[in-house]
Homo-oligomer: A and B are copies of this chain.
Amino acid sequence: MPRHDAESPAYSPKALEIIAHANELIASGGYNGFSYADIAERVAVRKASIHHHFPAKADLVKATVALHRDATRRGLDALDEAVPDAMARLEAYAGFWAQCIEASNPPICICALLAAELPSLPAEVADEVKAHFEALHAWVASVMEEGNSRGSLRLGGTPVAEATAFVASIHGAMLGARAVGDAALFGTIAHQALERFRPR
């Protein structure tokens, strides 16, 4: 899901390597928690060379988020195809994140993290983060609407309202697990969030 395709046509292999490291560093300390120097030493080129691939920091972080969004979209598309049942699809989505967080790979959704810092982000990055939330809300809502109409899950409100609430639970669960230092807490909360949609 957040796994990106190493064959993305828009970036060189080195640029993709830089993005991968930016991803990890953002996931740990947010936008201002890492510098080009950090990336440079991980990628084994000089700091100034990073500018060749990404002229400014905002370019790098925007690209990182955009690639994360691409990967998310492809992952959600794949879920739509592979898992016909709406409830099982949401479970698979939550399960995917539970595995990631348990393995710290990645340890958090970078868009959720950047959302927290949104007011101080460059506008082009903030726009990507906002778009990610909107796309995720829309996907969850469409899954819920489908599931509700087919009886595989049961909504207590509108699909849109329930979807935004579910996404909030997922992201809040990431914060909670991180705060108390218990990765399994994410899975517990996510499972609980899903139970409310279980048909009786």
Assess A176 versus B189: contact at CB under 8 Å? Given A29-B117, A29-B120, A130-B181. no
A146 to B29, CA, bound (A): 38
Instruction: Give residues of chain A (168-183) contacting chain B, Cβ–Cβ below 8 Å.
Output: 168-173, 175-176, 178-181
Instruction: Give residues of chain A (149-200) contacting chain B, Cβ–Cβ below 8 Å.
Output: 156-157, 161-162, 164-165, 167-173, 175-176, 178-181, 185, 188-189, 192-193, 195-196
Instruction: Give residues of chain A (30-46) contacting chain B, Cβ–Cβ below 8 Å.
Output: 30-33
| A117 lies within 8 A of B113 (CB) | yes
CB < 8 Å: which of B32, B116, B169, B196 contacts A168? Answer: B169
A147 close to B (CB within 8 Å) = no
Assess A111 versus B172: contact at CB under 8 Å? Given A189-B164, A192-B161. no
Q: Chain B nearest CB: distance from A194 CB in Å? A: 11
What are 30 A-B contacts with C-beta separation under 8 Å? A28-B117, A29-B31, A30-B116, A33-B117, A108-B116, A112-B175, A115-B175, A115-B179, A130-B179, A130-B181, A132-B179, A133-B176, A133-B180, A137-B180, A156-B195, A157-B195, A161-B192, A162-B192, A164-B188, A165-B173, A165-B192, A165-B193, A168-B168, A168-B189, A168-B193, A169-B172, A171-B171, A171-B175, A171-B176, A175-B175
A124 close to B (CB within 8 Å) = no
A118 close to B (CB within 8 Å) = yes
CB < 8 Å: which of B113, B164, B181, B196 contacts A196? Answer: B196
A119 to B101, CA, bound (A): 13
A134 close to B (CB within 8 Å) = yes
Given contacts A29-B32, A130-B180, A168-B168, 7 further A-B contacts (CB under 8 A): A115-B179, A118-B179, A133-B180, A156-B195, A161-B188, A170-B172, A171-B176
A115 to B171, CA, bound (A): 12
A108 to B112, CA, bound (A): 14
Nearest CB in chain B to that of A29: its residue: B120
